[in-house]
Structure 1
Amino acid sequence: MKKISLTFYITLVAVIIAVGYGVIAPDHFERMTSDVKNWIASSFGWYYLLTVSMLFFISVYLIFSPIGRIRLGKDSDRPQFSLISWLAMLFSAGMGIGLVFYGAAEPLSHYAVNPATAGPETAEAYKEAMRQAFFHWGFHAWAVYGMTALALAYFQFRKGQPGLISATLKPIFGDRVNGPLGIVIDVFAIFATVFGVATSLGLGAVQVNAGLHYLFGIPVSFLSQLIIIIIVTILFLVSAWSGLGKGIKILSNANMVLAIALLFFVIALGPTLLIFDMFTDSIGGYLEHLVRMSFRTAPLDVGNRAWLNDWTIFYWAWWIAWSPFVGMFIARVSKGRTIREFMIGLLVVPTVLSMIWFSAFGTTAIETQKAGIIDLASTATELTIFEMFSGMPWSSIISMIAILLIISFFITSADSATFVLGMQSSYGSLTPPNNLKVVWGVIQSSIAVILLFVGGLDALQNVVIIAALPFSVILIMMVTSLFMSLKEERRKVKRR
């Protein structure tokens, strides 16, 4: 594998050290990472809120600015993928499995433990629950992904730079990004990606196991989760080997078909009219409270601040930590689109789809809870969606679709990650070697298996959140670098 860069070996050593620590002293590893995560949330929550809000407002500015006419590539380039396939790939890589995991559980949690001044399980708590779910999975999240992806796509396809995080910082640091500084930046991006995807694989295996236990009585155990990860690993490696235009594209389109089918069943068999009413009302509430939610730190309310640390600030850190992986993948499939088309597609379509999803699943879950048939609020997160289905007609069919969707999202995320990791550790190659993708795929799955075995998934999640703080600084520099280059390009256009 002659194309492998030094970043691969450095990152591999760092990953082995971190995972080894988690295996040798799992309890201490979790306590330490949890303490650091909590300190960051308490001390830098204001910083995360300002940073993510800034990215959102910049994203909106780019849609309406003359800059939006600039194409991500040469002026003669056109998109490689159709609009539907492109949107499907964005959605699958960016949020997919998380929506299935939290679609019912998050609004229900906000309803039962309300973050606002209203008491839990009230009408106001109901509205607040939906607003918060829209907020956490809406414009701000996609702005983080969008600005990361835009910087990467612009420098890669417009300026001819390699597809590396470090290459986007050339206007600031010059040729120094080709040396040790660039290596450190790229190692950090790969490290965050590896641990983020390994966490997703672990959580996905837990939920698939829960669904299979609910449907077929398969025991919830490490052995079951190990078998699930092995099967999924084989499938996503086969997909990764087939290439971007086949495996990921086909899987992403399949994801959308399954997701729409599941959504249709929930809307049709759930409280249909109320779902549409809550969707419409919650859009208004979300837009009305958007600015207030964007900057809310609750400095004088200890309980409310603790909730913000556990939810909003956690999410903002999580999106930032995932942005190297998702951003690089989105950049790779977005060549030929204008900046305006790119930002509208990335901000609006996934946000609206997320709103519809949370309206359907959240409303159905809360109504199930209110009916008193099942105590969903005390159910484990990975089981919430399946317990909700048990109170609906055709529950077995719906649950089976949900399991297939989770597996499909599961495979797509891992497949996308192996592609991105291959790019990042082969000098930004647009076609990383298949054997390098296989190596990264096996590494990700091995980390998930090892930490599931020792009970270290929470610690792994903490590591990802901790990694978000330094990467947020890199992200701010990427945006600054992007605007420096765009300003120079606009100046040249005016002179011509």
Structure 2
Amino acid sequence: MKKVTMVFTISVIIAVLFVLWGAFAPDQLASVTGDIQQFLQTNFGWFYLIVASVILVFAIYLIFSKYGKIKLGKDDEEPEYGLISWFAMLFSAGMGIGIVFYGVAEPLQHYLTPPYGDPGTKQAASDAMRFSFFHWGLHPWGMYAVIALALAYFKFRKGAPGLISATFYPLIGDRVKGWVGKLIDIIAVFATIFGVATSLGLGAAQINGGLHYIFPNIPISIMVQFIIIAIVTVLFILSAISGLGRGIKWLSNSNVLVAIILMLFLLFAGNTGFLLSYFTTTLGSYLQNLADMSLNISPFDEQHGEWMQGWTLFYWAWWIAWAPFVGTFIARVSRGRTIREFMIGVLVVPTIFCALWFSVFGGTGIYLERIMNANLGNVINTQGVEVSLFAVLAQFPLSTFTSLLAIILISTFFITSADSATFVLGMQTTNGSLNPPNITKVIWGILVSAAALILLWSGGLTALQTASIIAAFPFAFILIFIMFSLMKAFREEVKIRKRLERKKQQQ
């Protein structure tokens, strides 16, 4: 524990106090955080939308800018990981549990409770998939890409510590080593804790729902979810201790393989032509309406305004809360790539995969509900949104096998997201160490799981959403300043290069 910093000590104390608050006064915790969430969503919804949109525009600009050739490392460095492993690791860390939990549930819920108009119509079906693409497409990956780029650039090219605060050096200089830098890192740590705890809570709820659907004697209850989190916590801590190259890399590759197998099964077992047509049509509609969806908070449309509060604003806050964790992890595995290659890879490939995933799983759910009258809406209303995936799989052959495969997939995504988070939290609280001590990772693994348990205990899925929205607010300001810091650093690097080239020409 020699590398432990003041950031670690302060963060652990505050995290323990939060866990104790939730354990001894869960109703008070739920009430206080609920009031804060309501205040932020009502008064700062516009802020979340603008921040997310500006970040995406900035990410796209970098692809075409003169800075695209700059390497995240020395000029002669080659990428540390191959393309397939790189995509697998960044995708598993960035989306994991979320796409499995919401793959069926979100489009189906949008169809049954649409952002505009009446439920169950053709327009509702079109909007349902378009907004699912919107929530899981370019915006979240833009956030991840920008913070990951900043971390990788300053760490691998400038030799700075792998800390969020180190990316502020062009703006505040040596003050990054003082209290300002420590405050930035502590905010990043707490955004990570609650962003990841949200995912772990969703994962535990869905594993519980799947087990109940297959084995009705297993109840859907907080106690079962506690047991699930306890078991998986032990597994992901063991994975984190095994190291990035072995544990996380192997599990990430396995996750993507199992996810693709499950997706292809549903694609070809279902109405393949319909699903691919749905994907193609929605992709065009998504790109065509991207600007309008990005900034439309509907001040004069109460239905859409309330829908935005429950969906888009939650997602934007969740992605912002996840950004320090996913950004740090993506930066760690992206050494040696150019800015252009990095931005295209992080923005485009996961966006297309997510779009295809939602088209297959969500499209199948809507097809079953709209064309086959499978009454999935009633199943969700009576048993909970966490069983929606298993209700769809039950309509196809080998349903028990595919449901068990889905539970395994959720569990392994749970492990990869959590062990990546313990690595990142360890890194952020040991002055940017690329190999944080195992004891540090174990402590953070236990605290993140405890936070997920407390949030489930105090308010279930609603509490998980609340935590993300609150944690994201201060970190959104950090993301804004990171963009200014990057531009200042890039301009300075270009100036230095031009100066050196002129000197060579004069010689």
Band of TM-score, shorter chain: over 0.9
Give secondary structure in 2 for the equivalent of 1:104. Answer: helix
- Pick which of 405-414 and 311-320 moved more: 311-320
Q: Give how far 1:309 is off.
A: 1.4
Contact kept, 8 Å, 1:176 with 1:182, in 2: the verdict is yes
Deviation at 1:214? Answer: 1.5
| Correspondence 1:89-168 to 2 at 5 A | 89-116=89-116, 118-168=117-167
Per the alignment, in what secondary structure is the counterpart of residue 431 of structure 2? Answer: coil
- State the 1:190 CA deviation: 0.7
- SS of corresponding position for 1:119: coil
The separation in 1 between residues aligned to 2:114 and 2:228, in whole angstroms, is 35
Distance in structure 2 (CA, Å) of the matches to 1:220 and 1:362: 23
Offset of residue 301 of structure 1: 1.3
The more displaced of 421-430 and 222-231 is 222-231
The question of whether the paired residues in 2 share the 8 Å contact of 1:23 and 1:451 is answered with no
Equivalent in the alignment of 1:482: 486
1:127 aligned partner, one-letter code:
S
Partner of 1:171: 170
Shift of 1:219: 2.7
Amino acid at match of 1:177: V
Q: In structure 1, what is the equivalent of residue 376 of structure 2? A: 375
The Cα shift of 1:455 comes to 4.3
In terms of mean alpha carbon deviation, does 206-215 or 222-231 score higher? 222-231
Instruction: Name the CA distance, whole Å, in 2 between partners of 1:457 and 1:4.
Output: 33
Partners of 2:236 and 2:317 lie apart in 1 by 27
1:273-422 equivalence runs, <5 A = 273-370=273-370, 371-376=372-377, 378=381, 379-422=383-426
Contact 1:190 1:421 in 2 (8 A): yes
Partner of 2:20: 20
CA distance in 1, matches of 2:265, 2:94: 23
Distance 1:456 1:405, change over 3 A: closer
Whether contact under 8 Å (1:267, 1:275) holds in the other structure is yes
Q: Show the 5 A alignment for 1:20-99.
A: 20-99=20-99
Amino acid across the alignment from 2:201? G
Separation of aligned partners in 1, 2:360 and 2:137 = 16
Comparing 362-371 with 168-177, greater Cα deviation is found at 362-371
Question: Would the aligned equivalents of 1:30 and 1:456 in 2 still touch at CA under 8 Å?
Answer: no
Aligned-residue sequence identity (percent) comes to 54
What secondary structure does 2:485 align onto? helix
Instruction: Measure the CA separation in 1 of the matches of 2:195 and 2:57.
Output: 26
Quick check: 1:239–1:415 contact (8 Å CA) kept in 2?
A: yes
The amino acid across from 1:363 in the alignment is G
The question of whether the paired residues in 1 share the 8 Å contact of 2:53 and 2:294 is answered with: yes
Please tell me the root mean square deviation across aligned C-alpha atoms, in Å: 1.4
Alignment-derived partner of residue 438 in structure 1: 442
1:452–1:49 distance in 2 versus 1, CA, 3 Å: closer
Alignment partners' CA distance in 2, 1:252 and 1:475: 27
Deviation at 1:456, TM superposition (A): 5.5
Which residue identity is paired with 1:300?
F
C-alpha deviation, 1:220, in angstroms: 2.4
> For residue 373 of structure 1, what is the amino acid of its counterpart?
A
Deviates more, 1:323-332 or 1:454-463: 454-463
The answer on whether the counterparts of 1:26 and 1:456 sit within 8 Å (CA) in structure 2 is no
The normalised TM-score by structure 1 is 0.97
TM-score (norm 2): 0.95
Shift of 1:460: 4.5
Kindly provide the amino acid, as one letter, of the partner of residue 498 in structure 2.
Answer: K
- For residues 121 and 464 of structure 2, the distance between their equivalents in structure 1, rounded to whole angstroms, comes to 35
Q: Which residue of 2 aligns with 1:186?
A: 185
2:223 matches 1:219: no
* In structure 1, distance between residues paired with 2:255 and 2:156: 28
Higher alpha-carbon deviation: 464-473 or 247-256: 464-473
- The residue type equivalent to 1:183 in the other structure is K
Equivalent of 1:447 in 434, 441, 451 = 451
- Comparing 252-261 with 47-56, greater Cα deviation is found at 47-56
Residue matched to 2:505: none
Q: Which runs of 5+ in 2 are unaligned?
A: 502-507
Instruction: Summarize deviations over 1:452-489 as a string: whole Å, max 9, x none.
Output: 34546633431221121111111100111011000100
Q: Secondary structure of 2:289's match?
A: helix
C-alpha spacing 1:227/1:279, structure 2 compared with 1 (3 Å)? same
Once the two structures are superposed, what CA deviation does each residue of 1:333-361 show, in whole Å capped at 9, x if it has no partner? Answer: 11111101100000000000000000001
- Residue identity opposite 1:143 in structure 2: G
Q: Rate the CA distance shift 1:320–1:450 in 2: closer, same or farther, 3 A.
A: closer
Deviation string 1:3-54 (CA, Å, 9 cap, x unpaired) is: 1011111011111222222222222221221221122112111121111111
